[in-house]
A and B are shown apart, each in its own frame.
Chain A
Amino acid sequence: MKNIIRVGALTAVSALVLAACASAPEEEPAASSSATAGGETPVETVDYRPCMVSDAGGFDDKSFNQAGYEGLVSISEELGLEYNTVESQDGNEYGPNIDALVADGCDLIVTVGFLLGDATAAAAAANPDTNFAMIDNAFDEPVDNVKPILFSTNEAAFLAGYAAAATTATGTVATFGGINIPPVTVFMDGFYRGVNYFNETTGGDVTVLGWDGTDGSFTGDFEDATKGQNLTQGFIDQGADIILPVAGPVGLGAAAAAQAAGDTWIIGVDSDWTLTAPEYSDIILTSIMKNMGPAVHDVVNEAAVGAGFSAEAYFGTLENEGVGLGTTASVVSEDVLAELETITAGIIDGSIATS
């Protein structure tokens, strides 16, 4: 049995060595970087507990889970709220994860993505005292303790389409999606309409590959970056020099292909890619921002210290800056930027249709 002791000792020693290596150089005991998930917060000023459940993508998806998560963290730090989060491994965990947060005493539970709709509905019915907010999903019949958070992404995608059509050197731009679902195709369709608007108003002849108004190119998932790379290479071979990948992390494969090809631009989605994917910042034409972070921030803020929770849907539009364009490359000329301002005003007052 000597060996058991030996193994135990080895395990403990290696644990210590690994742990000590992690941050040995610093000596100040007051290591106060307590930005850990659900950890202790510095000052507790408001007694409100916001929580969030991711879908299977996880909070590190550089896309909508992450954006929502960042909104939750920022408002919690601002108000000194103690928050909690759970990542779902797969579709079977939505219900149990929401239940665990209810048991944890959360006041508001934000569920990210339409796949959590059923689980949110069940939990909302079973726990009338807990409030919920659903990103990208709404029920046919509004429920008293569920607030839908929705975005008119097509408006921002329209602007990006116009900017792309005005900037392309080859006269061909392209887009592709991860899976053929409305939250994805709404980007592609807005982009397509923006390009067409450019053609109509300026007499241009810019072609869109990958979306024809009803159907288009899809990689089939939101995980395999290689597929995005291959599809993008195909578009580049067909002459496209601006590509809009609407596929979460798969878009990074598109960026890799564009970078390798040179003289090719990528349009980011969901968040500002010059910030979330800085390694590609020199080839990001612009980003179609779905400002989920600010939306979550506002919803939590209102529920915690504002007018209180209401089940009324939150709509992110160009008007309230719930959607918009991110950092735009200098290749987009001043004239085009000025024209985008005019179009924005047109979309807001309804004179330009984006869907």
Chain B
Amino acid sequence: MSATTEAPATPEKDRDARGMLKEIVESQTLVVILAIVASLILGSVLIVIASAEVREAAVYFFSRPGDTFAAIGDAVVGAYQAMFQGAVFNSNGNSFAAQIKPFTQTLTVATPLIFAGLGLGIGFRAGLFNIGAQGQIVIGATLGGFIGWTWELPAGLHLLVAVIGCVVGGALWGFIPGILKARTGAHEVITTIMLNYIALNLVAFLLTKDAFQRPGSDNPQSPLIHETAEYPLILGEQFPLHLGFLIALAAAAGVWWLMERSTLGFQFRAVGANPSAARTAGMSVAKAYILVMTLAGALAGLAGSAQILGTEKSLTTDVAASFGFDAITVALLGRSRPVGTVMAAILFGGLRASGPALQVQAGLPVDIVLVIQSLIVLFIAAPPLVRFLFRLPTPTNVKEVAA
């Protein structure tokens, strides 16, 4: 950061959006971890409230309080146990493969989040609050998917072309807000949100056309992509983990190199720290905006490829689920750094992957998972709150290795 030499940052100063973004991005690892702890504690309160057993026992709380406490304990332990078994290691599995399958599922769900989170992280560090990953994923998946189910190409080449299709689709959808920002100054928050709507409704429209429907059916659901265009499963048939995950890790390494070691990355960071200073120093701010948004779009397009070529294999309006928005959280949680983003994506993947187990084993509504995720974001976005809750000292110098 070019601004690291400034006086100790106090929470009161620099309350504009850029300052807030910076503060979130630079919050300490400890704060992140404590935010997760705090949200799990609050989450258990909700689990207790949602638990029918606790409610039943609480009816006669004053005559036999022990039952209520036992029910509370069972509900919380049961829920977090189900969460662990659904996301990491299922001790009930009858073979080693069945036991570790949940973790491969977590990594699979994390894959699109890593891609999209990396793209958004670049934007955040360049001072662009890109909300458009959802639309970029959708357009990427549409283009890549179309190549996947229409074209007939040999194995390997087909996958490559389809992935490139996803990248191009996403990059195009990122380029538009980039050039609008650079040339006209249109705020990227507004343009990306609008482009999300355009993407979603465009796909809904395309899915009413015969070329995007299965033969003999009028349902808004595309044909399955050909097997030659699918990401191969890297751990064999019984695990869902596909090649996209390895590409995501490679992308994380690439983004790290770009942002920390290359001139271009330095320019991005300089523009993010202070666009006026960057311009004075002879950098092209417009070029940086366009490149950052296009790159973010390309990475989101890869997230789309993880969906359409990896897990879903067929285009519907729901192909992006909520990954484009979850990725914003992932990038913030990972403090916009590649390693942090990967870790945060795996955490989120785990939370999502545990949804079925939470419902089936613990009988909890899936909304609880969403609430816990949202609580994490809430705490991350308010570092002073976490510091207050856990009585942490206000940081005097949050200097990153960076710059």
Contact = CB atoms under 8 A, between A and B. Distances in A.
A90 B318 contact: yes
Interface stretch (B50-58, B149-157, B269-277): B50-58
Contacts of B318: 56, 90-92, 115
A93 B355 contact: yes
B363 A179 contact: no
A92 B312 contact: yes
Given A92-B312, A96-B353, A87 B221 contact: no
Interface string B311-334: 111101011011000000000000
B218 A90 contact: no
B52 A14 contact: no
Given A92-B311, A100-B357, A101-B360, A31 B321 contact: no
A220 B203 CA distance: 12
Given A15-B72, A36-B52, A181-B218, A31 B45 contact: no
Nearest to B46: A15
A90 B363 contact: no
Contacts of A84: 360
Contact of B59 (A26, A56, A114, A117): A26
Contacts of A93: 321, 355-356
Interface stretch (A4-12, A127-135, A193-201): A4-12
B59 A31 contact: yes
A86 interface: yes
A184 to B, nearest CB: 10
A90 B314 contact: no
Interface stretch (B60-68, B118-126, B185-193): B60-68
Contact of B58 (A4, A19, A89, A101): A19
B42 interface: yes
Contacts of A220: 201, 204
A47 interface: no
B355 A18 contact: no
Nearest to B69: A16
B68 A96 contact: no
Contacts of B105: 96
Contacts of A114: 219, 221
Given A15-B48, A19-B48, A181-B219, A24 B363 contact: no
Contacts of A140: 216
A27 B355 contact: no
A20 interface: yes
Nearest to B201: A220
A19 B60 contact: no
A45 to B, nearest CB: 22
Interface in B195-231: 201, 204, 208, 216, 218-221, 224
B357 to A, nearest CB: 6
Nearest to B311: A92
Contacts of B307: 92
Contacts of B314: 118
Contacts of A92: 109, 307, 311-312, 318, 321
Interface string A77-102: 00000001111011111011101110
A100 B352 CA distance: 13
A180 interface: yes
A26 B59 CA distance: 6
Contacts of B363: 36-39
Interface in A1-58: 1, 3-4, 7-8, 11, 14-16, 18-20, 22-24, 26-29, 31, 34, 36-39, 56
B311 to A, nearest CB: 7
Contacts of A20: 58, 61, 68
A319 interface: no
A203 interface: no
Contacts of A36: 52, 363
A182 interface: yes
A140 B223 CA distance: 13
Given A11-B45, A89-B370, A92-B311, A118 B68 contact: no
B366 A87 contact: yes
Contacts of B86: 100
Contact of A87 (B48, B109, B322, B365): B365
Contact of B55 (A14, A22, A56, A86): A22
B41 interface: yes
B52 to A, nearest CB: 4
Contacts of B311: 92, 95
Given A92-B318, A96-B355, A100-B356, A19 B365 contact: no
A341 interface: no
Contacts of A37: 363
B284 interface: no
Given A118-B314, A179-B204, A3 B360 contact: no
A177 to B, nearest CB: 12
Contacts of A56: 318
A27 B59 CA distance: 6
Given A86-B356, A100-B359, A115-B318, A19 B54 contact: yes
A104 interface: yes
B76 to A, nearest CB: 9
Contacts of B250: none
A8 B41 contact: yes
Contact of B356 (A3, A22, A99): A99
Interface in B275-321: 307, 311-314, 316, 318-319, 321
Contacts of A28: 59-60
Contacts of B15: none
A19 B201 CA distance: 43
Given A91-B316, A92-B312, A182 B321 contact: no
A97 B86 CA distance: 11
B123 to A, nearest CB: 24
Nearest to B51: A19
B49 interface: yes
A3 B49 CA distance: 24
Given A39-B363, A87-B359, A115-B316, A182 B64 contact: no
15 contacts: A3-B389, A15-B49, A16-B61, A20-B68, A22-B49, A23-B55, A23-B58, A27-B63, A28-B60, A86-B359, A87-B359, A87-B365, A92-B318, A93-B356, A117-B221
Given A22-B58, A100-B357, 7 more contacts: A4-B391, A18-B45, A27-B59, A56-B318, A96-B355, A97-B355, A104-B361
Please give me the 3 A-B residue pairs with the lowest Cβ-Cβ distance, nearest first: A91-B318, A100-B356, A36-B52
